[in-house]
Amino acid sequence: EGDPVFCTPDLLPHLGREQGSKPLNTDHAGEILTPIAGTIPYAGEGEDRVKLSVMALLNSRYGITEEDFSSAELSFVPAVNAKNVGLDASLIGAYGQDDRVCAYASLAALLGQSAAPKHTSVVVLADKEEIGSEGVSGMKSAKFDHLLASLCGNDMGVFHACLDNSLCLSCDVSAAFDPSFAEVYERRNTAYINGGISICKYTGGGGKSGASDASAETLAKLRKAFAENDVTWQLCELGKIDVGGGGTVAKYMAERGIETIDAGTPVLSMHAPFEVTSKFDCYHTYLGCKAILAL
């Protein structure tokens, strides 16, 4: 509260005939997503006085100069706080729950262990998953391998044994069944709101294209751990086979030889500015992460 709010203006429908005739995935070019930062010109003469006024405000409030933009990482996010959703307040509405909801559950589970785990527990909050896990902060990066190798005393034999003996819960959200768009879901193989943490044995498109397919033994380990810790869970896929598809970081962990499976919180309106999750599912995602970290 109290932070400045920005707005990206849109074309009014009265003048949007041409825009409205375009396919949905091409009607908004990236270059038009330009937020309004200010309109009052700086006092005096000269060009770009509105820009100068905005820069003066940034400098006076935050100490930012124009040159700082060359090395800044700034993000515009929806200006809406997290909300209780529904008359019964059973849901959470907020932006970016894919995948902050699972990141929070994972970290809370690690910090919430009542005793030291039997085995070394690691939670990786990886970046850039939506663009292919690229870069030094993505799950393809060797940074993760370097960290594990250092934990193994940089002994490559021990390091490889560590990978072979590890279990990875690729904690990512799943698509919750939405009755308004029922035609894209396979009702018998989808995640439902209030169904608990969802386990996705494999991801990919057109079946298992580009997927990481967890073994039956890995799934059995999850079933056993969840049963012993009263975790409510459900199995799911990502919609009907030929409708679309998607992936997670699971395949990059599996490529390292780590036993990996996807599990996470079902989400409605995934990738929208206001995503919706169930409080029950969020809690059981936390319980599920806690159960796996305690193995």
- Digit-coded pLDDT (tens) for 269-287: 999 999 999 999 999 999 9
Instruction: Report which secondary-structure segment, H or E, holds 143.
Output: helix 143-151
Residues 6+ apart with CB under 8 A from 255: none
Of the candidates 91, 76, 262, 258, which has an alpha carbon nearest to the alpha carbon of residue 172? 262
pLDDT of residue 19: 86
- Comparing 170 with 25, which gets the higher pLDDT? 170
d(CA 130, CA 46): 43
Report the amino acid identity of residue 85: V
3-state secondary structure of 45: coil
Of the candidates 19, 39, 16, which has an alpha carbon nearest to the alpha carbon of residue 27? 19
d(CA 22, CA 295): 52
pLDDT of residue 152: 95
Chain position carrying tokens 């729950």: 97
pLDDT of residue 251: 93
pLDDT of residue 258: 97
Average pLDDT, integer, range 236-243: 88
Band of pLDDT at residue 29, cut at 50, 70 and 90: confident
CB 286, CB 197: distance < 8 Å: no
Band of pLDDT at residue 30, cut at 50, 70 and 90: confident
Residues 6+ apart with CB under 8 A from 122: 147, 148
Average pLDDT, integer, range 209-228: 94
Q: What is the DSSP letter of 40?
A: P
pLDDT of residue 246: 84
Band of pLDDT at residue 219, cut at 50, 70 and 90: very high
Per residue in 79-108, pLDDT tens?
999 999 999 999 999 999 998 999 999 999
User: What tokens does 46 get?
Assistant: 């000269």
Domains of the chain: 13-71 (no CATH), 83-293 (3.40.630.10)
Q: Percent of the chain scored above 90 by pLDDT?
A: 76
Band of pLDDT at residue 32, cut at 50, 70 and 90: confident
- Residue-averaged pLDDT of the chain: 93
- Buried residues in 26-55 as b, exposed as e (16+ CB within 10 A): eeeeeeeeeeeeeeeebeeeeeeeeebbbb
For the chain, strand residue ranges (E) read 83-85, 91-94, 167-171, 174-175, 197-200, 204-205, 233-235, 245-246, 259-264, 266-267, 275-278
Distance of CA 216 to the CA centre of its chain: 26
d(CA 194, CA 232): 9
Q: Percent of the chain scored above 70 by pLDDT?
A: 100
CB 159, CB 152: distance < 8 Å: yes
